[in-house]
A and B are shown apart, each in its own frame.
Chain A
Amino acid sequence: MLGYYFIIAVAIIASLLLTRKVLQHKILLVLFNGLQWSLTLYMCFHLHSEELGYFTADATAIIMLIVLSILATTSSFHSIYYLQHHHQRHATPQHAQAIYYAALCILIMAQTGAFLSSHIAVTWIFIELTTFSAAILIYHERKEDAVEATWKYLFVCSVALTLAFTGILFLSISAQASGTIDLSYRSLVNHAATFNPSWLKLSFLLILVGYSAKMGLFPMHTVCVDAHTVAPPPISAFISTTLMNVGFVAIFRMYSIIASTSILIWANHVLILAGTLSVFVAVVYLMQVHHFKRMFAYSSLENMGLVAIGLGVGGIGYYAVFLHLIFHSFTKASMFYQIQQVHHIYKSYLIKNTGNYFKYYLPGAVVILLSFISITGIPPSGMFFSEFMMFRALFEHQYYILLIIVLILLSFTIWALGRNFFRLVFSTPEDLDESRLDQGDPVQSISQYVLLGLVIYLGFNPPSQMVALINEAIKNLPF
């Protein structure tokens, strides 16, 4: 099935590049989404099936694949709107649209491959592929800052991934020394206990630093932030959610390898350190940010920091990490979709140019309020449950000082996010020319209601299949 998926996907991408008609592009995009969903459903019913030798549909992959497919559908939908509006104002050439759609399909395909791959180097190949396709999409608006951000994204990600590859080579050294030649995850997990600890430490560090560029974690988070600022909003929604999940899955699989070795405690401390620094950096920048998309980017950094802490603490933290990633994906994506409409109305992403959103566009203002509640983890949001579980894990494992630090930092984020969100929704801006404002289109807000509704529903009432999948994904980790 996966073989057919790749063949058909490549065919769709090629025909996207060859056609020039907008209608044909849309039809092909719908076809691609259909393909994505049929693959996802097929994989759901064939858990643990092996495909093409290098791909396995394990529980981690399935969870992330479902999130990816949901967001792929909404992002495609919003991309069509985005290109229409952008086309009206800037007269983008037809081939730029074709390239946009093709790169979007490549990005979705590469992420699917990265989730499903069961060989450590195959994961790397697909992650490198996401870099190129994301870079093309970031560059779409073709302005000066787009050039700058794309260059940084491309170059820093490439160097970071080279570091990650060095980490993979070190891992294969330690594997070889103990007689393991096969570098698939299953064989690595089974034999990890016999590996040389110092090589393993080195390779874990390199892989963590390398993939942190994708996950948006502390040492390499800057590229993601710049990329968000200029990328089209539906693409920002991708970079900030599913692409971060890709980075997480890559790090998580490495973590599962070392989970049965003697360096687990050391690795936990590294993760907690990276996570705490991420949260700290995010809070510092959130206090002084003046651009909505940068603000969201720093909020993603903060959430990924929480995820790293949760992974490092362990226990119920493992479960919370997956829950948090799912809810964060849905919430952050809907924030980016909504900011696209804010930009459509105010023609600006700067916080100081906006205000009184309730008056100009009621459905959007409600979305903004809901997503504020959701992202800051105020009940009834699902993120409340995941964050609560993380704090419980911190408490149970006696990280009291860390718990207090994280809670203080989090209250600062709530204050910073709240200030800017409420400014957008309630305050009356000075010198705002009402005649220049555009009308919002309520159809575009539907997807955000669905996603935010999902966050609340899944938080209160998690379906038993989802719980089973998450427990399956973390069953090999020590509690």
Chain B
Amino acid sequence: MLAVQGFLLFLLAFIQLVNVTILNLVFILLETLVFKTIALPLFINYIIRKNKITRETEPFVSYFISLLIITAAIIGSFILVQQIQGLGYDTLFFVVALSTLFLGLYVIISRGKLLTHIMGYVVLENGVFILSLAVGNEMPMMVNTGILIDIFVSVLVMGIFINKIGDVFNNSDTQAISQMKD
């Protein structure tokens, strides 16, 4: 699922970029195709195999209600964008970006597996990426690279940590890590 999303991002970015320097093109290619489409899904698969994580059987919220909530979020972002139009941007981009952001946050909130949390985080990042495309990306090259490296490292470190949690608790659910409270 994430690989498909990454590839779609690549296509989107590729179509959107009409007049770009070669450096920017390489950067977009690296971010969407290499990192989001290939490296990340492989890495997540590796974690799944190593920790023998199974597909989630009992989500906190039933699938039907989740579907309803997400649909509501998409409709909500349509309405929101209609409200604040007049800035001269492609409104469809905004709708997609906002609903992806909501989707990512919703996945993080509603699921119990830590791995699903990471995937929700990646979806969130994808939403931010679309948003930055919609804005027209005015960040300088250096800054962009820094942001990319940061996100890459964050996913990597989290993945390594899931391994640790799996080793220590023999379980990588949120229930395993709720010992700390007052």
Q: Which residues of A contact B (CB under 8 A)?
A: 54, 119, 121-122, 124-125, 128-129, 131-132, 135, 139, 144-145, 147-152, 154-155, 158-159, 162, 165-166, 169, 172-173, 176-177, 181, 183, 196, 198-199, 226, 229, 285, 288-291, 294
Residue of A nearest to B145 (CB): A125
A154:B131 contact, CB within 8 angstroms: no
A132:B153 contact, CB within 8 angstroms: yes
- List, in ascending order, chain A residues with CB within 8 A of B179's CB: 144-145, 148
Query: What's the dominant secondary structure at chain B's contact region?
Result: helix
Residue in A128, A158, A169, A199 whose CB lies within 8 Å of B131: A169
Assuming A159-B121, A169-B128, A285-B182, what are 13 further A-B pairs, CB within 8 angstroms? A121-B147, A122-B143, A128-B154, A139-B164, A154-B161, A159-B124, A162-B124, A169-B135, A172-B135, A172-B139, A176-B136, A229-B180, A294-B182
- List, in ascending order, chain A residues with CB within 8 A of B121's CB: 155, 158-159, 162
B26 contacts the other chain (CB 8 A): no
Question: In the bound complex, what is the Cα–Cα distance between A183 and B84 (angstroms)?
Answer: 22
Question: In the bound complex, what is the Cα–Cα distance between A154 and B160 (angstroms)?
Answer: 12
B140-179 Cβ-contact flags toward A at 8 Å (1 or 0): 0011001100100110011001001100110000000111
B40 contacts the other chain (CB 8 A): no
Question: In the bound complex, what is the Cα–Cα distance between A170 and B176 (angstroms)?
Answer: 37
B157:A54 contact, CB within 8 angstroms: no
Residue in B89, B154, B169 whose CB lies within 8 Å of A158: B154
Q: Report how many residues on chain B are interfacial, defined by Cβ distance under 8 Å.
A: 38
Which one of A54, A125, A226, A229 has the highest number of Cβ atoms from chain B below 10 Å of its Cβ?
A125
A183:B139 contact, CB within 8 angstroms: yes
A132:B157 contact, CB within 8 angstroms: yes
Give chain A nearest CB distance to B80 CB in angstroms.
Answer: 10
- List, in ascending order, chain B residues with CB within 8 A of A128's CB: 150, 154
Residue of B nearest to A173 (CB): B135
Residue of B nearest to A157 (CB): B154
A151:B114 contact, CB within 8 angstroms: yes
Question: In the bound complex, what is the Cα–Cα distance between A115 and B123 (angstroms)?
Answer: 30
B154:A132 contact, CB within 8 angstroms: yes
B157:A289 contact, CB within 8 angstroms: no
Given contacts A121-B143, A125-B147, contact A148 B138 (CB under 8 A): no
- List, in ascending order, chain A residues with CB within 8 A of B169's CB: 144, 147
- List, in ascending order, chain B residues with CB within 8 A of A285's CB: 182
B107-119 Cβ-contact flags toward A at 8 Å (1 or 0): 0100000100100
Which one of A145, A173, A198 has the highest number of Cβ atoms from chain B below 10 Å of its Cβ?
A173
- List, in ascending order, chain A residues with CB within 8 A of B89's CB: 173
B101 contacts the other chain (CB 8 A): yes
B158:A155 contact, CB within 8 angstroms: yes
Question: In the bound complex, what is the Cα–Cα distance between A145 and B164 (angstroms)?
Answer: 12
B87 contacts the other chain (CB 8 A): yes
Given contacts A135-B157, A147-B177, contact A289 B132 (CB under 8 A): no
Residue in B87, B128, B136 whose CB lies within 8 Å of A162: B128
A125:B124 contact, CB within 8 angstroms: no
- List, in ascending order, chain B residues with CB within 8 A of A155's CB: 117, 121, 158
- List, in ascending order, chain B residues with CB within 8 A of A294's CB: 182
Question: In the bound complex, what is the Cα–Cα distance between A126 and B101 (angstroms)?
Answer: 23
- List, in ascending order, chain A residues with CB within 8 A of B132's CB: 169
